[in-house]
Amino acid sequence: MKITLLGTGGPRPDPKRMGPSTLVRVGFDNLVFDAGRGVAARLVQAGVPITDYAYVFLTHLHFDHAGGLADLLFAAWNMARNKTIHVYGPKGTEAMVRYLFEAYERDIWYRLSETVLTHEKLVDIRNMVEVHDVGAGLVVEGDDWRVTAADVDHGHGLGLSRDEWTCLAYRVESKGKTVVISGDAVYSPSL
């Protein structure tokens, strides 16, 4: 298991720090946790081709943690990726990705239409991405790894319940090693 911090910045732009994102390499699988600003470029800088990841896990849906998701998905798609990308996140993730596809509907149509001229083997991105709203418990298992989620408190002090503002931490386990990744969170007994 190898961990790479792709970005550790916050919501304010900083030319020296990209938005929150962590890469966990487990065997041949690249797991991306959070998709902050600049995640696609940082993934490539880390030596991972933009077409060589299959799992994205969002801790919560603040723009600084999910704002780079469109770039991550569309960059892989534009490079003729045709394998499924799985996106996992708290309640609302499915809706967010659906809205992304609606926002870029004309671009999707254009790029699919131009394949008649370019002969690229571009699949419809909406058929390439599978989105899963998840909660606490087992999220997904790979060959030698598994990811579980736990509910955590964001800590914003607004008095919102976990139902109103869901935040997740993820635990990656592989061959006796464990790493826990959380986005914005205060102390939570579930960790």
Domain ranges of the chain: 2-182
Taking the C-alpha atoms of residue 98 and residue 118, their distance in angstroms, rounded to an integer, is 27
132-153 confidence digits (pLDDT tens): 999 999 999 999 999 999 999 8
- Catalytic residue positions, numbered: 64
Local confidence band at 158 (pLDDT 50, 70, 90 cut-offs): low
Stated as kind and residue range, the H or E segment containing 50 is none
Q: What's the topology of domain 2-182?
A: Metallo-beta-lactamase; Chain A (3.60.15)
Would you tell me how many other CB atoms lie within 10 Å of the CB of residue 103? 11
* More confident position, 96 or 81: 96
Local confidence band at 68 (pLDDT 50, 70, 90 cut-offs): very high
20-38 confidence digits (pLDDT tens): 999 999 999 999 999 999 9
Does the pLDDT value for residue 82 go beyond 90?
Answer: no
pTM recorded for the entire structure: 0.94
Name residues whose C-beta falls within 8 Å of residue 176's C-beta, 6 or more positions apart in sequence.
none
CB 131 within 8 A of CB 93: yes
86-127 confidence digits (pLDDT tens): 999 999 999 999 999 999 999 999 999 998 888 888 889 999
Does the pLDDT value for residue 76 go beyond 70?
Answer: yes
Does the pLDDT value for residue 191 go beyond 80?
Answer: no
Average pLDDT over residues 160-167: 75
